[in-house]
Amino acid sequence: MHHSLKRMWALIGVIAAIAAVAASSAGASHKAGPTIVIWTDTDRAAAVTKVANDWAASNGATIQVVTKNFGDIRDNLGTVSAADAPDVITAAHDWTGQLAANGLVEPIFLSSATKASFPSYTLNAFSYGTAVKKLYGVPVAVENIGLVVNTKLAKVPTTFSQLETEALQVKKAKHQTFGIAVQQGSGGDAYHMYPFFSGLGGYVFGTNKAGNLDPSDIGVANPTLLKNAHLIDKWNKEGLISSKVDSSAAQNAFLKGQAAFWITGPWNADTLKKSGLTFKVIQMPAIAKPSVPFLGVQGFMVTKYATVHGVDSAAKDLVTSFMATPAAQTQLAAANGRPPANVKAKSSDPVLQQFSAASKGGVPMPNIPQMSSVWSDLGQAWVRSTKGSGAMAASKSFKAAARSIAAKIG
């Protein structure tokens, strides 16, 4: 017994020694110069790696790109341990409020020359603060939805009533249940319905005196919208739009020539080009007010971990000086088929240019964290009021949504 116990400890010693050698040789390669860890999504990983390494090569830095699902970048940043945390992240502008309120991202400053090369809304989109408004991200790409018109089936409308007439004519001719293919489904889709919402005078959050979004000023059932809400009931009755249409139904109807109008974004640019249809993308004509879309801006942020890792100034240099340049912007934006944010880096793609033009006057999706209380209720307001027979009167439906949102925000 005694003998075998000795043997056992000897064995454990050998095993541990082998393991220690293996582990130490794995962890031994430390490099001089800062290492910047960037979290990005699959689409952009290659472009980000290339652009960041261009910067790193001239600065003696090392880049480590970690690929994540886009939405996970936001969620994991709150739970990651400091040792594994990124210094720079690819981000959507509407995360700004949440990440800043969590204290996870650092304010950044752009030179006036750099600022001048971005449309002011893109910088606004990345700015947040309840008292002092700060910029938290450098915009890279912009996206917004537009009205895609099948020019074989219908004329490009210049007024909303023209759009309505044309859409209903095609609906009748093709025996369809709806005129404009805009996706909702039972879950609702406040994003794709926003041009209708803004055209009727709706807004999500007002702004306070300091120019910040005010979560207590909810415009989901504001007087202008309620005054125009009877139009929603009319559209529902004549079948111009229907909440039964989900994303695949909308896409199928347009691609098969069953609907002449489709509301979608640049993520479908390739689908459109391959479809063989002749089409044009415009901003939806104004209803009572301009029918502007929600704007989405994507870009890069510097996290609070950059300071912890001692690479804060390097990370800020990469993001504010290098990624903002037209050359970097063109590559980064092209990586997932969006027009670049820098005005000096125009996209050469005609379809993307048309989508860009459709963004005129658009509203960046509110970037305050309270927006997460809005999406489902605003979507459901449309679902209830445009579900065909048995639909709720729009004014009642939007009032209910506004009440519910206010209760949730508290």
Site for another protein in 228-267 (CB under 8 A): 242-246, 248-249
Residues of this chain, 352-371, that bind another protein according to CB under 8 A = 369-371
Is 28 a residue that touches another protein (CB under 8 A)?
A: no
Amino acid at 259: A
Residue 302 and residue 108 in contact, taking contact as beta carbons nearer than 8 Å? yes
Q: Is 25 in the site for another protein (CB under 8 A)?
A: no
Asked if 392 touches another protein (CB under 8 A), the answer is yes
SS3 39: strand
Residue 61 binds another protein, judged by CB under 8 A: yes
Angle between helix axes 375-385 and 394-409 (nearest 10 degrees) is: 160
Give dist(CA 329, CA 323) in Å, integer: 6
- d(CA 125, CA 338) in angstroms, rounded, equals 17
Q: Residue 333 and residue 17: Cα distance in Å, rounded?
A: 50
- Asked if 117 touches another protein (CB under 8 A), the answer is no
Indicate the burial class of 35 (C-beta count within 10 angstroms; 0-12, 13-18, 19 or more).
middle
Residue 96 binds another protein (CB under 8 A) = no
Q: Does 211 participate in binding another protein (rule CB under 8 A)? A: no
Choosing from 199, 316, 329, 341, the residue that interacts with another protein (CB under 8 A) is 316
Give 289 or 387: the residue with its C-beta nearer to another protein. Answer: 387
The H-assigned helical ranges of 157-222 are 160-173, 194-199
Whether residue 47 contacts residue 335, with contact meaning beta carbons closer than 8 Å, is answered with yes
User: Which lies closer to another protein via its Cβ, residue 157 or residue 202?
Assistant: 202
Smallest distance from another protein to CB 232, Å = 15
- Choose the stretch contacting another protein; rule: CB under 8 A; options: 53-61, 152-160, 261-269, 292-300: 53-61
**Measured from the CB of residue 102, what is the shortest distance to another protein in angstroms?**
4
Residue 325 CB-density burial (10 A; 0-12 exposed, 13-18 middle, 19+ buried): middle
By CB under 8 A, is residue 5 in contact with another protein? yes
With contacts defined by CB under 8 A, how many residues of the chain interact with another protein?
A: 96
| 311 binds another protein, rule: CB under 8 A | yes
Closer residue to another protein, CB minimum distance, 159 or 313: 313
Q: Which residues, numbered 286-305, are part of the site for another protein (CB under 8 A)?
A: 304
101 binds another protein (CB under 8 A): yes
Which residues, 126 to 185, sit near another protein by CB under 8 A? 129-132, 134, 177, 185
**Residues in CB range of 279: below 8 A, 6 or more apart:** 148, 149, 150, 151, 272
